[in-house]
Amino acid sequence: MYPTVAEVLALPVLRQGRPHVVAGAAGLDAPVRWAHVAEVADIAPLLRGGELVLTTGVALPDDGAALARYVADLAGVGVAGIVVELVRHWSDKLPPALVEAADRHGVPLITLSRETRFVSVTEAVNGLIVDAQVDELRAAERVHETFTALTVAGAEPGDILREVARLTEHPAVLETLSHEVLAYDTAGADPGELLPGWPSRSRPVQVGERTGFHPGAGWLITVVGARGHDWGRLVLVCGDPPPHRHVVVAERAASALAVHRLVAKDTDSLERQAHRAILTELLANPVPPAELTARASALGVPLTGRLLVGVAVRPRITATTKTTQSTPVLLRELAEATALAARRAKVSALVATDDTLVRALIALSPEAGVDAVLHRLATDIHDARSGAPAVVAVGTTGSGPAEARRTLVEAAQVAAAALAGNVERVVHRLDDVRLRGLLHLLADDERITAFAARELGPLLSRDAAQGSRLVQALRHYCEHGGNKSAAAAAAHTSRTAYYQQLARIEQVLGVRLEDPESMLSLYVALLAHDIREADDHTSG
C-alpha cells in the first residue's frame, strides 16, 4: 500500500534536490506512511511510525550526544527515514555523530544538496500514498465482489483456491487443523515441490492469531471456520511479507470456504472429497504418477515404503434401512465410521464413498501385523454400525503405489461376492469367496455372460413366458448339492411337486441333473447370471 523510501527518493521533486544516502542504506525498502516536516529535536513523541522526516536542521543541536539521542528517539518510534537539507544549518556535510547514529539504528539518512520546497515534497509523497490507498480500497472491493460471487454460486474449494492463486500469484493450500491437505492450487508451480512432507512442515508453523504472516516459513495463514468451530487453515505460500491486498484475499477466501462447508453439510466432507479424488486416480492409473503419491502423503497417507491394503465396505440393505436412510446418507455415515476405525487402529487411510460402497486404502508400516490390524478395523466398523450391518472386505496386501489399484479392485469384488453369498464374517478375503469371488472377478467378461445365456436361456425364456419358477427350483437344487428332499424343503414345496419341476427342467434344458458336470455347469451359470443381474440392478 505504501511507497518505499527508495521510491520516494525517485520522485522528481526530490531528485531536483540531489538526494544522497549517507547512512542506513539497508533500510531503503521501508514503507513510508507519511511525509512530515519537523524542525524541532524532540519531535519523536508526536510521531506514530513510518514517517519520512524532512528537516533543514536549523533547530537541531550540534552536540554529538544530543544528535545521537535525536536519531535514537526517531528510530524508537519507527520512522522510515530522515531527509536533511544541506543549506541553512549544515552546508557541506552532516556531523559524524548523526551519521554514525543513523547507521547504528538502521535509519536511512539522506542529504539534499540543493534548496528544496518541502511543501512540494509532502504534497507529492502524501498524494502518492493517498493514491495507493485508494487503489488498495478499490482492489479490496473487487476482491469482495469476486468472493461474494463465488459464495453465491456455491463454488467448490478448488475453484476458490484457484481464484486465490490468480489474484496473488502464489500457491494456496487448504489444510485441516491436523495439517492434512484438502485442496490446493500451485499457481503454476510444481506440486512435487509444494506438497512433499507437508504435514511435518506445517505442524510447527503457528501465528497465534486468526490471520498472520510467519516469516520463518514465508507463509500467510488464516484460520477457516466460525469462531469456536474452526476446522482448517488457508495457507498462502508467499515467501516475503504479503501486501495488505493479499491478506484481504486470504480472509475473504477463508470466509467463502467456511460458507461452502455450512451449505454443503448434506454432502461428503472436504476430507472425503479429497480422499475420493486420490482413490479415483489410483484406480484409473496402473502406475501412479509422483504427483499423486505426493498428494496422498500431504493428506497424511504415505504410499511409498508402506504395505497397502484395499478395503471395501458395503451396507446390507434391509427393509429397515431402506425406510430410515437413503443410500448416500448411509454410505457417508459408513465412511465416517471407517475413517474413525482407522484412527482408532492408528493407521493411515484414504476413505471415500462410491456409488454403492465405501472404499479405503490402508497404509501400514512394513512391521505391522496386517491380519490383526484388519480384524480390529473391521470389528470397530461393525460395532459402530450395529444397527445397519455391513460387509467388510479386503484385497491382498501390496507393497507400494503400483499395487494400490489391484488391491482396491480386489476388495470391491470380494465385497460384492460376499454380499451375494450372505455369509457372515468379520472380514472377507479372496480365499473366503471362492467360486463366487472368481466369477465376480470375471463378471465383465462377455464369455462368462455368453456361457450363462447358453446354459440357462431356455429355462429363463420358459419362466418369462409361462410365469413358472423353474430357475428358482434349479437354484435350490444346486445350492443343496443335488439333495432333492432338502431342496424341496428350502423351496417350501411338496416333494411330488418339486420332483415334477426337476423333471420339467431336464426336459427344457435337455440334460440330466444327476450328472455331476451338468449340475456344476448349471450352478456356475446361475452364479454368473445372478452377479450380472445384481450389477445391472445396481447400475440402473
DSSP code string of 365-426: -TTS-HHHHHHHHHHHHHHHTTTS-EEEEE---BSSGGGHHHHHHHHHHHHHHHHHHT---S
Cα of first residue to Cα of last residue in the chain, in angstroms, is 59
What is the average pLDDT across 99-128?
90
pLDDT at 323: 42
Q: pLDDT tens, 287-312?
A: 888 889 999 999 989 999 999 999 99
Residue 18: CB atoms within 10 A of its CB come to 12
- Predicted confidence at residue 326, as pLDDT, reads 66
For 451-478, what is the mean pLDDT?
A: 88
Burial class (CB in 10 A: 0-12, 13-18, 19+), 472: middle
Per-residue pLDDT band for 247 (boundaries 50, 70, 90) equals very high
pTM of the model: 0.62
pLDDT tens-digit series, residues 343-379: 999 999 999 998 889 999 999 999 989 999 999 999 9
Q: What is the pLDDT of residue 131?
A: 83
CA 257 to chain CA mean position, Å: 12
In the chain, ranges of CATH 3.30.70.270 domains: 274-433
> In what helix (H) or strand (E) does residue 111 lie, and over which residues does it extend?
strand 109-112
Please say whether the beta carbons of 236 and 246 come within 8 A: yes
Q: Where in the chain is the domain with CATH 3.40.1390.20?
A: 5-126
Label residue 30 exposed, middle or buried (CB < 10 Å: 0-12, 13-18, 19+).
buried
Q: What's the pLDDT tens digit per position in 52-76?
A: 999 998 888 889 999 999 999 999 9
Is the confidence at residue 443, as pLDDT, over 80? no
Helix then strand count (H, E) for the chain reads: 21, 14
Count CB-CB contacts under 10 A for residue 78: 14
Query: Per-residue pLDDT for 214 more than 90?
Result: yes
pLDDT of residue 137: 78
Sheet holding 181-185, edge to edge: 181-185, 172-176, 229-237, 219-226, 211-214
Distance from C-alpha of 186 to C-alpha of 170, rounded to nearest angstrom: 7
Answer CATH for 274-433 from 3.30.70.270, 3.30.420.40, 3.40.50.1820, 3.60.15.10? 3.30.70.270
For residue 540, pLDDT beyond 50:
no
Residue 206 confidence (pLDDT) above 60: yes
pLDDT at 263: 77
φ/ψ bin of 286: left (φ > 0), alpha (ψ from -120 to 50), beta (otherwise): alpha
> Is the distance from CB of 419 to CB of 316 less than 8 angstroms?
yes
Binned at pLDDT 50, 70 and 90, residue 434 comes out as: low
Q: What is the pLDDT of residue 267?
A: 63
pLDDT, residue 539, reads: 47
Instruction: Give Cα separations from 112 to 20, 93, 120, 362, 405 (angstroms).
Output: 7, 10, 14, 70, 72
104-113, 139-148, 233-242, 400-409: segment of lowest average pLDDT: 139-148
Beta carbons of 82 and 53 less than 8 angstroms apart? yes
Least confident of 226-235, 374-383, 498-507: 226-235
Classify domain 154-263 by CATH architecture: 2-Layer Sandwich (3.30)
175: pLDDT strictly greater than 60: yes
Where do you find CATH 3.30.450.30 in the chain? Answer: 154-263
| pLDDT tens by residue, 399-424 | 888 899 999 988 988 888 888 766 78
How confident is the model at residue 374, as a pLDDT? 93
Across all residues in the chain, what is the average pLDDT?
87
Residue 437 has pLDDT above 70, yes or no: no
CATH (one of 3.40.50.720, 1.10.420.10, 3.40.50.1980, 3.40.1390.20) for 5-126: 3.40.1390.20
Residue 319 has pLDDT above 70, yes or no: no
What's the CA gap between 521 and 529, in Å, rounded? 12
Asked whether residue 266 carries a pLDDT value surpassing 60, the answer given is: no
Distance (Å, rounded) from C-alpha 508 to C-alpha 410? 37
Whole-number percent of the chain with pLDDT over 70 = 94
Single-letter amino acid, residue 368? A
- The pLDDT score that the predictor gives to residue 150 is 87
Q: CA-based Rg of the chain, rounded to a whole angstrom?
A: 37
